[in-house]
Amino acid sequence: MLKIKSRKQQHLFDPWQFLSPKRREILDQSWPGFFRDHVLDLLPVETFSVLFPAHRGRPTKEMHTVLGTLALQQYHDLTDREACEQLAFNIQWHYALDIAEESDAAKYICPKTLWTMRTLATELGIDQDFFDTVALELAQMFNVDTSRQRIDSVHIRSNMARLGRIGVFVKGIDRFLVNLKRHHLSLYDGIDAELIQRYHGEKARQCFAGVKPSDSKRVLSDVASDLYRLVTQFASHRQVADMSSYKLLCRIVKEQCEVGADGTIEVKAPKQISSDSLQNPSDPDATYSGHKGQGYQIQVMETYSEHETDAKDPRQLNLITYVEVEKACQSDAQALLPALETTLETDLAPAQVQADTLYGSDENCCECAQLGIELISPAPGTQKCESANLSDFQFRADGHVDKCPAGHRPALCKKKKGRYTQCFEINLCANCPLADCCAVKRGAKFFYLNYDEKRLRIARRRQHERTEEFRQKYRWRAGVEATMSQYDRLTGVKHLRVRGKKAVRFAAVMKATAVNIARAVAARQARMRANDNRMGSYCRLRRVFELFKEQFSGLLLSIADRMLGKQTAQTYAQNSA
């Protein structure tokens, strides 16, 4: 049975009146007060109703407390045991979760229950609902301008060891033997005792850690043969074939080895192995990035301001509007359109988005234009600096060349089915000093320059990249690197305590929500300090005015008395004469 305490029910007496005014003020102005007043009511507690029917079973822990603990655990980057201790003894957590009563039912949760609830929340996708709700609420609360945003990715690692190829084979065999012994002991006893002794147990795994580089090729071949022997031995056993550890062995054979027609097995060369191959049997979802290594990558998109005063103003909130966990081997070029489509659904879409070169493919630019969004990103690819490239030509509005890099105009211009052909006089191009490095090619009658619509768009983009206008706009993209740094420093997202894509995604999205909350708290504190400074300045100015008024009024009275006395003496002297 689901237990949810109504947040609309108010306390008859203030349960926090035992706090001194100063301590109460500190709680209200920092993250506990903000979480309690603006975030606690946004927790999607009703989502659990599909798993806990009403009037059936024992009541659960109060769901605001459970989900709030999960959120604060990711906010402070704590283990399960540390989170349970904070819930039991930390008054900041009690204030943030609005827990006033002193009972174990209210302020205690065991690590096993916390782990179970996190698993259920992961399966229900509560993390994304919570992130979207909080982001939209903060955008409205702080009047965030979402028209300008920037996107980038960051590489993260789950809680898995960094294994080489031998380690992957050995770990896979060990996991299979452990599960086989646990569920099918009779089949386990039928395996060669020498193979079990070689791979099963901690000491067996440590033996492979000391393999010399000169022996690695031979050892890898022997381990692959042993693994393939296990695969063939239990291939016809249906119950064993359905085990996840056995499927991992089959996956290792498929990705890392080549099986001959005669049943022999050979290990593939490293260049033949795909980047999405199995990196560690402990985390089958993790993949490999040639640039950053094993793990996952997170796409993060946030708002920003192009005004110098707003960008440096701590009262302004830069809000993360999109976060998604992907394979480490996935290209950033495939992440832009899903991010924009998601923000369109959540009413947080930008009118202009900045990204690095990997996002700036021609296809992405065209798709963004159809969505009414401007993509500011350098064109992909490189150009030879000493060559006269297509971007060095001057183009007319209709797409034809106006002038070449040497200043010559084409003698003839053609366009057919989206392809442009520019014809230049032979005598001009043959004697041109740029002839050896120019993009035009010699033909029978002319020197020809051929390009299509795509190359024309890229050339115009490269020309725009050389302008000062583009540099002034694109310089704001670098600010997203500070967000990635804060994302890791505040929440420890680059080294997670979980494995598997679902668990990694839950942790990463909840930590992104924590960054938004922390930024909102900082922006609110800056606004409160600004208001205090304004009030202080007003009070000081009014006091000065009152003091000046008192002194100035006394001075006026003394001057008036003197002037009136002098005038009276003069009038008396005249009358006497």
Q: Nearest-CA neighbor of 508 among 31, 114, 66, 77?
A: 77
What percentage of the chain carries pLDDT values higher than 70? 89
Reported in sequence order, the residue ranges of 263-387 that DSSP labels E, i.e. its strands, are 265-267, 287-289, 293-303, 320-327, 352-354, 374-376
Q: Residues of CATH 3.30.420.10 domain(s) within the chain?
A: 298-377+473-522
Mode of pairing for the β-strands spanning 293-303 and 148-156: antiparallel
Confidence of residue 451 (pLDDT cuts 50, 70, 90): very high
Q: In DSSP terms, which residues pair with 324 in a beta bridge?
A: 299
- The span from the CA of 274 to the CA of 288, in Å, is 9
Residue-wise pLDDT for 166-220, tens only, equals: 889 988 998 999 999 999 999 999 888 888 888 876 666 666 766 777 788 888 8
Are 523 and 515 within 8 A, CB to CB? Answer: no
Place of tokens 């980038």: 152
Neighbours of 170 (CB within 10 A): 24
Strands 352-354 and 374-376: parallel
Burial of 39 (0-12, 13-18, 19+ CB in 10 A): buried
Lowest mean pLDDT among 72-81, 111-120, 257-266, 346-355: 257-266
Q: Which of 160-164, 361-365, 411-415 has the lowest mean pLDDT?
A: 160-164
Predicted pLDDT at 357: 92
**Domain 298-377+473-522 sits in CATH 3.60.140.10:** no
- Mean pLDDT for the chain? 87
Reported as a single tens digit per residue, the pLDDT across 507-562 is 999 999 999 999 999 999 998 888 877 666 656 666 666 666 666 666 555 665 66
388-400 pLDDT, tens digit per residue, is: 788 889 999 999 9
* Residue keyed to tokens 């960094």: 162
Residues 6+ apart with CB under 8 A from 424: 404, 408, 410, 411, 440, 446, 447, 448, 449
Q: Give the containing element (helix H, strand E) for 420.
A: strand 419-424
For residue 517, which amino acid is it? I
- How large is the C-alpha radius of gyration of the chain? 35
Q: What is the pLDDT of residues 258-279, one digit of tens each?
A: 988 888 889 998 888 888 888 8
- Say if CB 245 and CB 239 are below 8 A apart: no
Neighbours of 166 (CB within 10 A): 18
